[in-house]
Chain A
């Protein structure tokens, strides 16, 4: 019996083979996937909030103590940094879109690369001719 080729496995629940992608909670055949992208919604939300907070800081500077201003800058930095690190893997079939997993951005990028590599193999494990 032929061994299934594995393109990504982080040993924590995310696994991409030549046939499917499997997470802790979801499973999807790669043959059904027509589009894959990385969702960065938390990062954009954090950018809006941090930009607004820093604009508030500049406009109402005279009403805030120095330690409060530092605290606002610190919180904004942490917020943007944390939100940048989080991403979602979104896969679309012909009929619907599905968010497969929320994970750190770099792992999700690797999973996307693995899906792209798996697309070059058919279900029998043979490399597709281009």
Chain B
């Protein structure tokens, strides 16, 4: 299989792209995120110019209504949702420690970038040509995180 791949894309090009990916992930992505945060998103947050967002109500917040029948999702979906909730709670605990000495705007932007690691890496590796929605509308994610209270 490697012979087929190396005939389509030469091995030096594959190696070069892998090295470029490593350089982007280790050096360039943190640099771009920090500079963009300082230039665009943190000033926008501090000036109160973030878009208005409505927080999604989590199922835990809803009180069960006795008169209506609740339909349980399949077992597999319930298991996956519970696992995701567990990981989100763990993430929030580390978030409060990691950003303890920063203001809420810096924390919100930092968390937004952390949650968009792979789209941000794709954006940097493709020199900004590939711009996923999570990066294009990052201010919405920042607003959601700020409104959710993760960063205090």
A-side residues, CB < 8 A to B, are 41, 44-49, 52-53, 55-56, 58-60, 63-64
Contact = CB atoms under 8 A, between A and B. Distances in A.
Interface stretch (B9-17, B77-85, B133-141): B9-17
Given A41-B12, A63-B32, A48 B17 contact: yes
Contacts of A58: 127
B108 to A, nearest CB: 20
Contact of B13 (A44, A53, A59, A63): A44
A45 B32 contact: no
A63 B32 CA distance: 7
Interface residues of B, number: 22
A59 B10 CA distance: 26
B26 to A, nearest CB: 13
Nearest to A51: B16
Contacts of A56: 24, 28, 124, 127
A58 B129 CA distance: 12
Interface of B: 10-13, 15-17, 19-20, 23-24, 28, 31-32, 35-36, 39, 124-125, 127-129
A52 B32 CA distance: 15
Contacts of B23: 49, 53
Given A56-B28, A56-B127, A48 B35 contact: no
Contacts of A64: 35
Given A41-B12, A56-B127, 17 more contacts: A41-B11, A44-B10, A44-B13, A44-B16, A45-B19, A46-B16, A47-B16, A48-B12, A48-B16, A49-B23, A52-B17, A52-B20, A52-B125, A55-B127, A59-B127, A60-B32, A63-B36
Q: 3 closest pairs, A vs B, by CB?
A: A48-B16, A44-B12, A59-B127
Given A45-B15, A48-B17, A60 B10 contact: no
Given A44-B12, A55-B127, A56-B127, A49 B20 contact: yes
Contacts of A47: 16
Contact of A63 (B12, B16, B35): B35
Contacts of B12: 41, 44-45, 48
Residue of B35, B36, B39, B127 with most chain A CB atoms under a 10 A cut-off: B127
A1 to B, nearest CB: 46
A64 B24 CA distance: 15
15 contacts: A44-B13, A44-B16, A45-B15, A45-B16, A47-B16, A49-B23, A52-B125, A56-B24, A56-B124, A60-B32, A60-B127, A60-B128, A63-B31, A63-B36, A63-B39
